[in-house]
């Protein structure tokens, strides 16, 4: 049976770096799509879609993440890693205190991952850029909303210790030994 593994954490925690390391080691990974959605909006003249229309942005993310989840089923890989998961969408809306339709929660309950690994906030590696507008303090707060969203669905979150990219990747793979 295919194992879907999601790597979560607030902005700037090193998720993409760990996913890139997993790719380098030959694992199949689904990339983060929020930057893609943001860049597409910028091409249409919307500088910060997430801030301008968080519900539209989140609907686009939800559609993209659902598509990724279904695409993973077609892959002939025992393990598929995801850079963020479906529950991240409503976690961010909760952080923004934005109301959203019930189908956000329904999709989170419909498409389930087998394992959830969380990279904690780490001030020393945090960098903001054009697509990452949050302060480090906001990233810490988002981290709490992510934990709550996943725990409310019933996930056991495995915390990845701070360390080098290789150490963090090894921790995840070692935790999955029985799944490899």
| Spacing of C-alpha 138 from chain mean position | 16
Domain ranges of the chain: 3-179
The pLDDT score that the predictor gives to residue 50 is: 61
Sheet order of strands, 79-83 included:
28-30, 79-83, 3-8, 115-118, 157-159
CA–CA distance, 62 with 33 (Å, rounded to integer)? 10
The pLDDT score that the predictor gives to residue 59 is: 85
What's the mean per-residue pLDDT of the chain?
Answer: 88
Question: Residue 34 in contact with residue 82, Cβ under 8 Å?
Answer: no
- Span 27-66, pLDDT tens digits: 999 988 877 777 776 677 666 656 667 788 888 889 989 9
The pLDDT score that the predictor gives to residue 137 is: 83
The pLDDT score that the predictor gives to residue 41 is: 67
Find out if CATH 3.40.50.300 is the number for domain 3-179.
Answer: yes
pTM higher than 0.75? yes
């Amino acid at each position: 049976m295919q194992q879907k593994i999601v790597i979560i954490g607030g902005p700037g925690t090193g998720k993409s770096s760990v996913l890139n390391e997993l790719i380098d080691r030959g694992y199949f990974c689904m990339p983060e799509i929020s930057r893609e959605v943001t860049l597409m909006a910028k091409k249409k003249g919307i500088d910060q879609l997430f801030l301008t229309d968080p519900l539209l942005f989140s609907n686009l993310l939800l559609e993209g993440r659902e598509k990724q989840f279904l695409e993973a089923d077609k892959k002939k890989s025992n393990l598929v890693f995801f850079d963020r998961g479906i529950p991240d969408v409503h976690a961010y809306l909760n952080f923004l205190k934005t109301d959203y339709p019930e189908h956000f929660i329904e999709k989170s309950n419909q498409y389930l991952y087998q394992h959830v690994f969380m990279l904690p906030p780490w001030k020393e590696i945090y960098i903001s850029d054009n697509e990452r507008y949050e302060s480090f303090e906001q990233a810490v707060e988002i981290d709490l909303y992510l934990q709550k969203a996943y725990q409310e669905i019933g996930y056991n979150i495995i915390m990845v210790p701070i360390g080098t990219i290789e150490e963090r990747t090894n921790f995840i793979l070692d935790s999955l030994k029985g799944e490899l």
